[in-house]
Chains A and B, each alone.
Chain A
Amino acid sequence: MADTSRTMIVWKRRLPGLIMTMPAVIVFTAMFLVPTVLGFVLSLTNWNGFSLNLTFIGFENYLRAFENPRSVDAAIFTTVFAVVTTVVCNLVGLALAVLIAGPGRANTVVRAVFFYPYIISALIIGFLWSAMLAPQGVFNSILANLGLPSIPFLTDPAFAQTSVIVTGIWAHYGFSMILYIAGLKSIPAEYYEAATVDGAGPWARFKNITVPLLAPIVTVNIVLGLVTALRVYDVVLALTAGGPAGSTETVVFQILKNSFDNGKLGYGAAQGVILLIVTAVLGIGVTLARRNAEKKVAD
């Protein structure tokens, strides 16, 4: 009796907490955790999307992902895209942030101009740039009107890959910039004053105050940039549809193509699991590696 009543009291105390957390836990479990685990299970099968009779085929799908030239190419392009866009977005974003971090109407306007593509859907950005860069698109029309030969922005593999990367940078560096501006604003002015009094020049101030104090923002920018870029899909679909010659297919492009066009959902799921692992390892790895850089600030 005593036991049950104590249990009752414990439960009564816990009840509100349970009620407050359970709905979120249930929805998250059903729509996120279960599918994630299920994704791993499906990746070990030959599920074709038609029937529910699944055959377990071990790690065959994973082997295939590493052997298939098309998916290897897609992985390479995705990596290049992620690294180049992240590096360039950060460099450009930081440089512009330093230029316009200050207050003033002009700076605010310029900031909005640099940032606006971020709030437009990547799919629509892709369509917009496709209209600019297509063989009969605006840019080639301008070239033709000037009597210049056309440029195969989207129809030559190397050009098309570059076009996708440049479009990605165009749409995303504004976000890095905004984060850097926020970071710059949070650096107390006294630091600079003290440094100036000590006779530090502008470059010394930038190197010794700005860079170390921005370290956490650099980490956030790199992690967010990489994680977002590794999932790139919409802009590619609209800009090049993976072509020409499959040169701009990305990992997610492959996942969706294999799953829904080629009816190999098990294979698609395996590629998804690989992407998940890579994303998680990169995200956590970069965060840990950057800890050192950030620690210096605390010292």
Chain B
Amino acid sequence: MITGRMATAAAGLTAVALALTGCAAGAEGGETGEKVTVTMLVNITPNLTEAFWNDLVAPFEEANPDIDVKIQAPAAEGVAKTLPQLLASGEVPDIVETVPPTEELAPELVDLSQYDWAKNGPLADQYSLDGKYYMAGIGYQLQSIYFYNKQAFSEAGIEAPPTTVDELEADLQKLQDAGWTPIQSGGEWITQIPVQTTGLPSIIAENADWFAEMSDGDVTFSETYSDAMERYASWVAAGYIPADSVGVKYADAEQQFLSGKSAIYPMGSWFAASEAKAAEKPEIGVFRAPAEKGIDNPAMGANVANPYVIMMASEHQDAAAKVVEFLVTDEEAVTKQLAADGNFRDGYEYEMDALGQELLAIVADTPESDFTPTGDGYGERVLPRGYQTELNVQAQAMLTGVSAADAIAAMDAWIESNR
């Protein structure tokens, strides 16, 4: 009977063992042929579809038959949340698009300082860490801007876009008097945008080291952001920002502005791509977010468009560098990417409408040193991770009736305990 017993046991153990090893063997089936496969984790959006990415790298693959670029789509939550999961699981892609280098991420990234295309690209200095260049991008995404409905402005008798926050506030009143919803806002993650768009241009212009001093605790949120927060709360109280915005989804907010139901829409420059695609729309213009009176160089919140980083864990770093070089230098590739997502870069023109031209003019007029990160920041200018999410929470709180003072105190407490 011993044999029977052993057989049963062996069968059980083998089943477990097979289950344990089965997939491990399968996963390592990759052979070391001549053709190198470079995987690239990219953001998939309505503008940047999987087909777009495959199409984008097709000319490169044709010119480099030994390199195959495999586009990898992230989970539903996007690249930023997918990458930590991939890193934790050890299945790291070679190239990652859209995740900016940070101090925590830097040890996982290849230093690209040896490449001119990384060192001299858009916002390269802003994104550098300890003098090392870890990313290369293709252009600018502007964030301290307001889109506006030109008809609304003329109905309200506003002749020129405001140049100070006080003027903006006066214009909001005029728009409301003319029967318009002055500011288009929304729930989800976009509630914080008016707060940052109001605050950052002045805060950064007054203190270029704001990010560093905030994260070191040299200045506090209440010392620097109170004006903007109070203004926001007063705009909510005055009805410039409708209190029920919190229930408006991002996509619906965009739709409402495009269908002419609101006058001003604070949003990143990627909105221009949606505007360009919309069939019926009002005439829309854009102006730079003004700073408080007396500040003549308002800071411009901007992200680099389509930043690429190469992962240290990659086994094909040279091939990956070739891919990135193509993506950020090849004129056709760059303009294709700029056009797809409504991004801009001085000197790279693509077929754009009047709104696009206005945005390009803002980019051309802004000195490189006036650009600033927004939200959680990037490069050496970073705040505790989750800052923007928390700011969004507090903006929603103010929309639902919490006082500015309470919201400011909550931000101070959050930053204090997350520093």
Contacts and interface: CB of A to CB of B under 8 A. Distances in A.
Direct A/B contact, Cβ within 8 angstroms: yes
Contacts of B340: none
Query: Size range of the interface on B?
Result: 35 or more
Given A48-B104, A68-B414, A263-B104, A23 B12 contact: yes
B107 interface: yes
7 contacts: A19-B9, A49-B87, A67-B416, A68-B414, A134-B247, A243-B246, A262-B386
Contacts of B16: 23, 26-27
Interface string B89-107: 0000000000000001101
B192 to A, nearest CB: 11
Contacts of A193: none
Majority SS at the chain B contact face: helix
Contact of B247 (A154, A241, A257): A154
Contact of B187 (A23, A49, A70, A155): A155
Contacts of A152: 244, 246-247
A70 B108 contact: no
A261 B16 CA distance: 34
Contacts of A135: 244, 247-248
Nearest 10 A/B pairs, CB to CB: A135-B247, A155-B247, A245-B396, A245-B397, A246-B393, A68-B417, A262-B386, A19-B9, A262-B385, A244-B396
Interface in B164-217: 187-188
A23 B13 CA distance: 7
Interface in A238-280: 241, 243-246, 257-258, 260-265
A67 B417 contact: yes
B54 interface: no
Given A26-B16, A261-B386, 6 more contacts: A48-B104, A50-B105, A244-B247, A245-B396, A257-B386, A262-B386
A77 B7 CA distance: 54
A244 B5 CA distance: 60
Interface string B6-35: 000100110010000000000000000000
A157 B398 CA distance: 11
B84 A260 contact: yes
A291 interface: no
B107 A51 contact: yes
B390 interface: yes
Given A67-B417, A155-B246, A51 B187 contact: no
Contacts of B361: none
B417 A155 contact: no
A103 interface: no
B54 to A, nearest CB: 28
Interface string B108-130: 10000000000000000000000
Contacts of A155: 187, 244, 246-247, 400
Given A27-B16, A50-B104, A264-B385, A243 B187 contact: yes
A156 B399 CA distance: 9
Contacts of B386: 257-258, 261-262
B418 interface: yes
A129 B187 CA distance: 18
Contacts of A156: 400
A155 B221 CA distance: 26
Interface string B232-257: 00000000000010111000100000
Interface string A148-159: 000010111100
A51 B393 contact: no
Contact of A245 (B77, B393, B413): B393
Contact of A70 (B188, B393, B399): B393
A185 interface: no
Interface in A84-142: 134-136
A22 to B, nearest CB: 9
Contacts of B389: 261
B385 A49 contact: no
Nearest to B83: A50
A208 to B, nearest CB: 50
B369 interface: no
Interface string B389-405: 11001101101101000
A260 B108 contact: no
Contact of B400 (A16, A48, A157): A157
Contact of A260 (B5, B12, B81, B244): B81
Contact of A50 (B87, B187, B402, B418): B87
A207 interface: no
A244 B417 contact: no
A207 B81 CA distance: 55
Contacts of A243: 187-188, 246, 393, 396
Contacts of B88: 49, 265
Nearest to B413: A69
Nearest to A47: B88
Nearest to B390: A70
A26 B17 CA distance: 12
Contacts of B81: 260-261
Given A49-B87, A243-B187, A70 B400 contact: no
A260 B400 contact: no
Contacts of B393: 70, 243, 245-246
B109 to A, nearest CB: 10
Contacts of A265: 88
Interface string A138-181: 00000000000000101111000000000000000000000000
Between A51, A68, A263, the greatest number of chain B beta carbons within 10 A of the residue's beta carbon is seen for: A263
A64 interface: yes
Contacts of A16: 5
Nearest to A154: B247
Interface string A54-78: 0000000000100111100000000
B410 interface: yes
A258 B188 CA distance: 18
Contacts of A26: 16
Contacts of B246: 152, 155, 243-245
Given A50-B108, A261-B389, A245 B247 contact: no
Between A50, A70, A156, A245, the greatest number of chain B beta carbons within 10 A of the residue's beta carbon is seen for: A245
